[in-house]
Each structure stands twice: as structure tokens, then as C-alpha cells.
Amino acid sequence: MPVILYHNPKCSKSCQTLELLVEHGIAPEIVEYLKSPPTAEQLQEILNLLGMAPRDLMRKKEDVYAECELDNASLTDEDLLGFMVKHPILIERPIVLANGKATIGRPPEQVLDILH
């Protein structure tokens, strides 16, 4: 099973996570999610692996979060997934999938827990 890295090359934590994977002999499949956003179904699968709700995976300090009033408690998980697909900058990064597990590379060393 390949290791998949949802990566933003402009993000220092994402770059550090990629570097850490390479240092450990892993050449991950890189998904530049800002160019190729995951579908709502893929995001739900990632959330299931992370054990998180959509709002937990959102970057709340992004301008679009405030602009779209995503702090509105009446928004459903489906609504939030739709916003993340439409505005992938909202998705926390980096996300690593490996061995049927997922984690967020914050800190980057956290990804080592799912590699074996």
C-alpha cells in the first residue's frame, strides 16, 4: 500500500513532512490538494481514518473560513465537506495516509507513528 501525502509545497510543515518521509526511505505518492482537491467522499474517508469531524480538519484562520461564515453551527458535515472541496485551502495539512491509517503532520514527526 502506498504512502500518500496531501501536500502544499508552500507550507513549511508540509515540506518538513515530505523531507522526513524521504529521510526514512519512503517515496510517497504526492497529492497537491490545492491543484487536485479530494472529493467529498475522499475527504470523508480521510476523516474516518483520522477520527475527526469536518470542522476539526478545517483551517479556521483562512480568510475564506470567515468570508463563508463557516463558524455557523447550523452547517452540516455535508455542507462543510462541500466547502472544503470548493476551497481546498481550508483543509489542514499535511495529511499522510499509510497502512490503512491517517495522521496530520503537525508536528511532522507524528507521521512516523503510522508508517509501521
Give 76-88 pLDDT, tens digit per residue: 999 999 999 999 9
Q: Is the model's pLDDT at 1 over the cut of 90?
A: no
- Which element (helix H / strand E) includes 22? helix 12-23
At residue 116, the pLDDT reads: 77
15 included as an active-site residue: no
Catalytic position from the list 4, 11, 34, 85:
11
Q: Which residues contact 89 (CB under 8 A, 6 or more apart)?
A: 34, 59, 62, 64
Give the pLDDT of residue 32: 98
The SS3 of residue 5 is: strand
- Domains along the sequence of the chain with CATH: 1-33+93-116 (3.40.30.10), 39-89 (3.40.30.10)
Give the separation between CA 66 and CA 90, rounded to whole angstroms.
11
pTM summary value: 0.94
| Residue 7 in this model has a pLDDT that exceeds 90 | yes
Residue 49 Cα to chain centre, angstroms? 11
